[in-house]
Structure 1
Amino acid sequence: MRQCTHVDALPHPEPVPVSGTCPDCLREGTDPVQLRLCLSCGHVGCCDSSPHRHATRHHLETGHPVMRSHEPDEDWRWCFVDHVLV
């Protein structure tokens, strides 16, 4: 089973979300499908089911490895680098 090599380096406590929704979707006039929180910096982006995949774009631009769901009652995490749930 593959494991995440990045989770131990994440800040504690988690960063505060920098917004309540995806600011890139707001700026572009699109609707986010699901929100994701970057666990390195608090950036909020939309998921890969959204038209512009802003959470993934944030990872590709910054290299920040792990995000978690920013949806109510969800706390799962995903490592973009290791491609595993953590």
Structure 2
Amino acid sequence: MTEIDGIDPSVPPSGTGCGDCDAVGGWWFHLRRCAQCGHVGCCDSSPARHATAHWKSTGHPLVQSFEPGEAWFWNYDTGTMYESGPDLAPPSDHPADQAAPGPADRVPQDWPNHIHR
């Protein structure tokens, strides 16, 4: 397999949800997984934008969608989307029965008013 800077296919995801949101009792819209270290963070539509914050604090530029049925990658450094890429260590997405947005018990009823567009 060809090595790609910023991707370590052997590292599993850090969890099934955004650990940063979990730490403060927050919620997320969709999830992104760092392709280098496995950090799972919330997307830029989410209130806290933890995946972008992770890139800014670590310099890890590549994320993959952590949503069921999605395999695309995003490069924060270049603003480039890739429809596919190398297989990362499983699991490739959060559990199918996990709500999005989630976690269900922390999502406000008016959640659409809180996402970034």
TM bucket (normalised to shorter chain) is 0.7 to 0.9
Secondary structure of the residue aligned to 1:45 is: strand
Displacement, 1:14?
4.7
Q: Which position in structure 1 is the counterpart of 2:53?
A: 57
- Structure 1 unmatched ranges of 5 or more: 1-6
Three-state SS of the structure 1 residue aligned to 2:74 is strand
What count of residue pairs does the alignment treat as equivalent?
79
Give, in whole Å, the separation in 2 of the partners of 1:15 and 1:83.
Answer: 23
Identify the structure with the greater strand proportion.
Answer: 1
Q: CA separation in 2, counterparts of 1:33 and 1:14?
A: 26
Structure 1, residues 2-34: CA drift from partner, whole Å, max 9, x if none?
xxxxx82222x3521011100111111111110
Q: Report the TM-score, using the length of structure 1 for normalisation.
A: 0.86
Code of the residue aligned with 1:8 in structure 2: it is I
SS at match of 2:33: strand
| Corresponding residue number in structure 2 for 1:78 | 74
Other-structure match for 1:24 = 20
Question: What's the RMSD between the two structures over aligned residues?
Answer: 1.3
Indicate conservation of the 8 Å contact 1:14/1:39, yes or no.
no
The aligned counterpart of 2:63 is 67
